[in-house]
Structure 1
């Protein structure tokens, strides 16, 4: 598993025995898939997925039991049972997989494979967000118990845009019959092909060796991969991790915000604490209209939309003196101006004094679900405006990480279409 020559400079994606559902053993492939573990809105979304099919992948990525150890043991037992019963089975030949997502005019294609892990700071895989240690521990315990990569990270790289190298192989492959095709309830059609030809694989290897990748989604899983690799110092399957790699020069991703629910802070208290330091005005709904107002305000500077009391409140124009006194100065100006930076350093830590812990804050990708949860719990929804991808990539190249859960790149790969077992790889 050593690296020589061009591979030392960039990405190395190798084939693996994909672990996939046997269609005849499940109700439908769509019914056993799930969004990534951190996108599932709990408990409603979790219960919906569990009831969709008794073999839904959520039973592996978010097992339900009393206590962490019991949950991980349950996931491991479930995976073993599904393998022994033939619900899941490994492909007979190691492969890279072309994965396509399509919905209306949106088309995304990329490669799923086993990526050789690179050390932090090597400049090959670039993180752009901080991680929460308790989440990394949770994912590591689950991955260790199951000895499997249950869902791929989403990585992006930028080619010259021409159909050469990996892009050429992808475009040739999609003319063949896919291994699977299914449409999930969100309207996305998913298709998967395998690449096993040695010449195609060599063409991909040579191309990717010249590139670095940005982690678009899956920072906690990447940190988990590195932690588990460190636990297995000799050459082993733990030196690799399951990823989806997308060339954004050909298939640009969408960048969305990740919103917050402050469980124990009523909207009235949140607004009262901001008075005098921010401009506050009530904006009309419904939610899409309020989000448009947020987008307009974000074009002029830091802005947030607060909800949870049946109304929408636009918070903008922070006091410059407050920002100067609460935001660290040893970071690039682009980092200091981020909404997520102002939210965490100024609002959460100083003004509202809310610990960044699960019992106080929930991170939710869907704006409507964020507002609904805040209204049900009497808390505050803090809706964010997305940051531009160019800002994310530029900060990552400087080695500067953004506050946790600053961005949501998509579309995200569906979980459950292809898994990687470390015991068969």
Structure 2
């Protein structure tokens, strides 16, 4: 997106912070203590895998396990303090900005990590594009409040001037130096981190970003949490800033993927029978890759979904126009009303299947194979989605229109555990 700051010069304000990082000598490996973002971890399998990878894996902070929410949050705070006392984690000696790189195959992404000002009001500077779930925001807020730390950065995108200038010029220069951290995670992604210690280079980054606005690519619930926790404070302090990764998409375009739904209590046969004549339903041949190709072809012509969970794939498309008119809210832009996520929630979940949007009924899963596997294992229905166009996301965000929750998955996402922000030392 072309992202000069709003009128009046108000744009992004990014400041250095004392990053909290793992001490390599105190852990098995840096790769073994990292994790995907909390909402990407497939539970319980992925959670158990990460917990067993290293006793100090960051998942013990972002997804602590206990009998109650309060106990989980206390456990995370106590674990963080213990790791600090034991020297497993340690703060960097001075506040800095960080350049972060991810590389796998031909894919290269670089950005800058810092503490982003939440005040003055960021409306019109940081653009959300998805609704959030109140229970998740409340849980994330309780975790951050108790731990007094930002455990993983949001991913924000902005568009520079289309060339290696400003912040991007600094990032490219810094990336030619020796990093303070380098590791390759088990998914084959190589990660490198540099500390930007030169005040002139930091000022160059900050000056460029002060003219920009950004789109929340990943982390809407954490952003809402930042704002909630800031509002609780009676005066200025570290809660006025949030940990973010900013990527110039003019230089490093992001990828947009879909987030799938797992309907715990709805077998596929029941889901199909409830559709009646409301949609066209067709069996499509596997394997999964071929079925997703069929979904993409149908999605190019209109709303389309792929149901799985009974060992087969069922393409659901061409919704009845009269049903759409009755069930999709008419007070939103046409682009919003045509979204697959809008039709899924307004028509299928609310009207046809009558499924509450609650964790007991719906799980949101990023990995396609995991969604199918869990549906087949638990006699549930996986609703596989086709990614929405980034242009649609951007245009709706500019209009101030939010998409249904979990409509998109932008990436590559930053690995969790490479740098944290301790609000007690920042």
Bin of the TM-score, shorter chain as denominator length: over 0.9
Aligned-pair CA distance for 1:7: 9.0
| TM-score of the aligned structures, taking structure 2 as reference length | 0.97
The number of residues matched between the two structures is 421
Distance 2:234 2:8 in 1: 21
Which runs of structure 2 are paired with 1:63-78 in the superposition (5 Å)?
63-78=64-79
Distance 1:70 1:328 in 2: 40
Distance 2:297 2:119 in 1: 40
Maintained 8 Å contact 2:9/2:211: no
Distance 1:202 1:218 in 2: 26
CA change 1:332–1:120 in 2 (3 A) is: farther
> Tell me, what secondary structure is at the counterpart of 2:212?
coil
Maintained 8 Å contact 1:307/1:380: yes
CA deviations 1:123-164 (Å, max 9, x no partner) are 000000000000000000000010000000000001121111
> Tell me, what secondary structure is at the counterpart of 1:420?
strand
Q: 2:294 aligned with 1:300, yes or no?
A: no
Query: What is the RMSD computed on CA atoms of the aligned residues?
Result: 1.2
Maintained 8 Å contact 2:113/2:245: yes
Aligned-pair CA distance for 1:233: 3.1
Residue in structure 2 matched with residue 156 of structure 1 by the alignment:
157
CA deviations 1:78-116 (Å, max 9, x no partner) are 000000000000000110000000000000000000000
CA change 1:7–1:44 in 2 (3 A) is: farther
> Tell me, what secondary structure is at the counterpart of 1:185?
coil
Structure 2: segments with no counterpart, 5+ residues: none
Residue in structure 2 matched with residue 122 of structure 1 by the alignment:
123
Which runs of structure 2 are paired with 1:148-227 in the superposition (5 Å)?
148-227=149-228
Which runs of structure 2 are paired with 1:193-342 in the superposition (5 Å)?
193-342=194-343
> Tell me, what secondary structure is at the counterpart of 1:276?
coil
Distance 1:26 1:7 in 2: 48
Maintained 8 Å contact 1:118/1:124: no
Maintained 8 Å contact 2:32/2:185: yes
Which runs of structure 2 are paired with 1:65-144 in the superposition (5 Å)?
65-118=66-119, 122-144=123-145
Aligned-pair CA distance for 1:8: 5.4
| TM-score of the aligned structures, taking structure 1 as reference length | 0.98
Distance 1:240 1:414 in 2: 20
**Ranges of 4+ aligned residues in structure 1 off by more than 6 Å:** none
Which runs of structure 2 are paired with 1:43-82 in the superposition (5 Å)?
43-82=44-83
> Tell me, what secondary structure is at the counterpart of 2:336?
helix
